[in-house]
């Protein structure tokens, strides 16, 4: 019934941090369609869950409540560390992206790849908080962040690079990150 509705043009207008829950085994919408939907919503988080139940209250409720609890905790942490921009103020934007994330998921499987993505998210969020960055948007394997100065953005990028270099020295699966 909802397949004919297209709300894509409205999604960028969503003004609150949003959790998109999706069951991986659903025939429609597909995981790719859920990822696309989440990418259109500012500050959206996609939580892919096992199962084929369309309604979140059907199927594995523990996974649903865990995803919601984690999402609410992340939202509070991000809000606490965010530096509110002044109206019309200059901002420097930093983008991060895990190189080859699709191939990584194919190679490791969804669960292990998701663990690496969560590690990436944790590391980037810690650096943003430490360097006064504001998380603007996350799209699964990358972030868009905002800073009040180019210096803060560069310092944050360097801190992220150092954290991943240190992590990758002893990790069985390195995370390669691209930043712009």
Alpha-carbon distance 77 to 117, whole Å? 18
Q: What is the pLDDT of residue 169?
A: 94
Give whichever of 17-26, 57-66, 106-115, 124-133 has the largest mean pLDDT: 124-133
Alpha-carbon distance 148 to 152, whole Å? 7
**pLDDT tier at 131, thresholds 50, 70, 90:** very high
**pLDDT tier at 156, thresholds 50, 70, 90:** very high
Chain segment 79-96, per-residue pLDDT in tens: 555 555 566 667 899 999
pLDDT > 90 in the chain, percent = 22
| Mean pLDDT, rounded, for 135-151 | 87
Q: What is the pLDDT of residue 87?
A: 60
What topology is assigned to 85-180 in CATH? Alpha-Beta Plaits (3.30.70)
Check whether 5 has a pLDDT greater than 80: no
User: What are the sequence ranges of the domains in the chain?
Assistant: 1-81, 85-180
Q: Which of 13, 21, 81 is nearest to 45 (CA)?
A: 21
The string over 43-60, giving b where at least 16 C-beta atoms fall within 10 Å of a residue's C-beta and e elsewhere, is bbbbbbbeeebeebeebe
Q: What is the pLDDT of residue 159?
A: 94
Higher per-residue confidence, 35 vs 167: 167
pLDDT > 70 in the chain, percent = 88
Q: What are phi and psi of 21, to 5 degrees?
A: -95, 135
Chain segment 18-77, per-residue pLDDT in tens: 888 888 888 888 888 888 888 888 888 888 888 888 776 677 778 887 888 787 776 555
């Amino acid at each position: 019934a909802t397949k004919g509705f297209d709300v894509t043009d409205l999604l960028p207008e969503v003004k609150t941090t949003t959790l998109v829950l999706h069951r991986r085994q659903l025939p429609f919408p597909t995981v790719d369609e859920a990822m696309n939907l989440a990418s259109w919503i500012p500050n959206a988080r996609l939580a892919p869950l096992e199962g084929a139940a369309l309604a979140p209250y059907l199927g594995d409720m523990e996974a649903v409540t865990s995803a919601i609890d984690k999402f609410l905790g992340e939202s509070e942490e991000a809000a606490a560390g965010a530096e509110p921009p002044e109206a019309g103020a200059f901002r420097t934007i930093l983008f991060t992206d895990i190189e080859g994330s699709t191939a990584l998921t194919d190679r490791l499987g969804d669960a292990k790849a998701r663990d690496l993505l969560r590690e990436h998210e944790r590391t980037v969020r810690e650096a943003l908080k430490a360097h006064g960055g504001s998380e603007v948007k996350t799209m699964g394997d990358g972030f868009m962040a905002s800073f009040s100065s180019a210096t803060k953005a560069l310092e944050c990028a360097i801190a992220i690079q150092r954290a991943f270099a240190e992590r990758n020295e002893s990790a069985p699966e390195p995370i390669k990150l691209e930043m712009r």
